[in-house]
Chains A and B, each alone.
Chain A
């Protein structure tokens, strides 16, 4: 395996939100990277900081939020240092984002035409007429039937799946180098979800895009990504190749998360659970943020933040846990089978 070069290198960022009830420590020293042309997964439960990470990268945080320290190196440039004007050029042209909810990401009062050609003309520095051609071509690529006509329609005239396709078309027509897809299929039905995922994978391969795929669906991660970063409570608790993370997790949270997916088990009616709740990020737990729910927690876990240990440089394998060396969380073959059995039998 040749050493890939990161296109995005996020280094130790802290993003806070200032609210009436206190400071929300949404990102608490987050570091991870995405290599050129590589599909990377960002995984974790609701509220762990996935969307905030994407928004910090593009500098589109809500007004009450701020990235207070750290570096976000994109193609060698620290985005956090970039003047607003240049940052605007990065958005769309260099880094495109597909949002969680396709309805909120398209403006309902403008035709698709207006929402695509202008940005394309701007970012690709071409005439309106050429931009229209690129737009129609992109719509065709994502499978919108009769794109030359449909481009004159408004967002509400498309179904949820089609809106997400339109949005992907818009993102891709700008020919970005990095695509951030924030739960691109969560709001969609299973059969439509499969269509969109297939489309994203195909586009990613065809255009050699680097991709940051944000999701909490572990099946989607397994099928789409090469490497994964696991988030918990505003921190990256584990990183590594997708296969290693699924089969040989090093962090107790990763293992517990994967064990709570329903599957066919020996005792059919009992699922492994993680006790307690997803942590609040105003006054979060001290030390390791997972300690109130971790069955391996000891005194040091409550007191000290676990260091970020690089256990395999070649693979980019990292973990933040005081006890990872003593724990054996390896998943045996039968468990892996059970997890995905649902299809095997079909």
Chain B
């Protein structure tokens, strides 16, 4: 199957990239701000900025799963949308196989990048066009990326990927509203995987699903990763899901990465006070255990006027004076363990 695809691989633009030593995706000081403007008859004026992503440093290695975790509104989806070139960054860069994806490039190069970078969207209910049959929904990426492919070949590939995600041929002729939440998520996954991407950004792929269906989808994603040698960025706010799927985890808060490390390390040697509080907040499914948890005071602050210095300082149990003045950098404290904190727990 892969060999038939290769004949469509015309350009070789990634010759500089060494998969053994270089990350497949590298986000450097990435910022995405959304302006809020005030409209009047004559002019419109930017009055504030929503700092959705505010200096993210993050990388993915080939073949791994990086879990991205954080509370609602901290900028996870926005980070992903910029990383797959659905939106332009305000500042910073996204490198895919060593190439800055926002540098000027030909349409062929652009398509070659987009074909290898796919995203499964957060909401299985609204991300599929309700007026298109499943067949057309999944065929669309072929129309864009492989215009020369015959209709028959496209169709057979659609049926092939549907089978892979556990749906049947007759499902191809149905519309999204005829499916359950779990089935719609399968359609979204089929759509992203149909054209054999290398990297898939999964934005909360199981959050809207019941635990029993959630388990089915997590198993499916794992099987597909092994079969196609995929690299995943897996976004979730549920830490037990993140722990289950990830090789490495990045913890995000108010547009910035607070901590990034191998999964076991993050849970065993939690370094950042926000990660500590987040882990402590999870209710654990054992009725015999009484636990003391760190309950964070206050709400998640607004990304419009984020706190000065360390964005976590108003809620942090360890905050000192310096925390509100100087923004801590994300630093590698131990091999592979990155932390942005003046007073880490390790």
Residues of chain A touching chain B, judged by Cβ–Cβ distance below 8 Å, are: 45-46, 159, 161-162, 189-195, 197-198, 216-224, 242-243, 246, 256-258, 260-264, 268-275, 277-278, 336, 339-340, 342-343, 345-346
Contacts of B50 in A (CB 8 A): none
Contact A45 B296 (CB under 8 A): no
Given A194-B293, A346-B267, residue A262 in contact with residue B218 (CB < 8 A): yes
Cβ of A56 to closest chain B Cβ, rounded Å: 22
Q: Could you say which residues of chain A place their CB within 8 Å of the CB of B284?
A: 219, 222-223, 339-340, 342-343
Neighbour of B244 across the interface among A159, A191, A271, A273, CB < 8 A: A271
Q: Which of B97-105, B145-153, B168-176, B234-242 contacts A (4 or more CB under 8 A)?
A: B234-242
What's the nearest-Cβ distance from chain B to residue A199, in Å? 10
Q: Size range of the interface on B?
A: 35 or more
B178 within 8 A of A: no
Quick one: which of B180, B241, B278, B299 contacts A190, CB cutoff 8 A?
B278
Interface core residue of A192, A194, A197, A262 (most chain B CB under 10 Å): A262
Report if A277-B213 is in contact (Cβ < 8 Å); known contacts: A162-B299, A342-B243: yes
Complex contact A343–B279 (CB within 8 A): yes
Q: Which residues of A contact B293 (CB under 8 A)?
A: 194
Name the distance in Å between B271's Cβ and chain A's nearest Cβ. 11
B319 lies within 8 A of chain A by Cβ: no
| B219 cross-chain contacts in A, Cβ below 8 A | 269-271, 273
Contact residues in B for A193 (Cβ distance below 8 Å): 281, 283
In the assembled complex, 17 residue pairs joining A and B whose CB atoms fall closer than 8 Å, in A order, are A190-B237, A216-B211, A220-B283, A222-B284, A243-B287, A258-B285, A260-B212, A262-B215, A262-B241, A264-B244, A269-B222, A270-B222, A278-B213, A342-B239, A342-B284, A343-B280, A345-B268
- Report yes or no: B280 in contact with A346, Cβ–Cβ below 8 A: yes
A277 to B291, CA, bound (A): 35
Chain A residues closer than 8 Å to B239, beta-carbon distance: 190, 342
For B283, list chain A residues within 8 Å (CB).
193-194, 197, 217, 219-220, 222-224
Residues of A within 8 A of B10 (CB): none
Q: Which of B237, B244, B277 has the most CB of A within 10 A?
A: B244
Interface members, chain B 289-307 (any A CB < 8 Å):
289, 291, 293, 295-296, 299-300
Q: Give A189 to B182 CA distance when docked, in angstroms.
A: 23
Judged by a CB distance under 8 angstroms, whether B78 is at the interface is no
